[in-house]
Structure 1
């Protein structure tokens, strides 16, 4: 088994993600029941972000996201799957995959005290 992070990208104002809550609850519950869900969360809007950069040895904090783009990181899932193919199958089940994007990326084994 390996951990994969599913990064959920949506376009601002494209869709109210809360109106699909029953679909999200259904998918999340099925991931729990399958024993693959490690963690998940929705994130606040990009306006709530603060970006930190260190330049010339000094830390700079800037209000807002790292980059200006139409899509923003809306949330994530961390799944413990047998392989990438299984993680991709689960990613395709997320409602946001129909109108946004779901990036699937392996988690480095042993990083952060897990794996």
Structure 2
């Protein structure tokens, strides 16, 4: 059985937040949640959905560097940026064009910019090793 390629759709939003996260008002937040819920339902209904979730603000992150003898833990995100990942979807789609079209619909629903990245496959790793 062949599986479809998987893609990570990462939702980015401003690091600066209001009382309603990245949304300007409670009404905007509730509408975005409703629209995102409808988009999630569509992904499930059409067979693209693997997993999705929202994240707490980047200020709640802990960065872990375990490359040395003892792990180094640092409060906060790894990168200091004006935008952070706020949530994500993992989807299965037949190709990048479908994933990009779904990302455009997801962006509209959640009111955030979405980065689309394919997951590594055995074929993509083998191509790296052969080059």
TM-score scaled by length of structure 1: 0.84
Following TM superposition, the consecutive aligned residue runs of length 4 or more in structure 1 with deviations greater than 4 angstroms are 96-99
RMSD of aligned residue pairs (Cα, Å)? 2.1
TM-score scaled by length of structure 2: 0.75
Structure ranking higher in strand proportion? 1
Give the C-alpha shift of residue 15 in structure 1.
1.6
Greater RCO (CA < 8 Å, at least 6 residues apart): 1
Gaps of 5+ in 2: 123-131
Structure (1 or 2) with the larger CA radius of gyration: 2
Change (3 A) 1:46 1:37: same
Change (3 A) 1:96 1:70: farther
Gaps of 5+ in 1: 111-115
Give the C-alpha shift of residue 99 in structure 1.
5.1
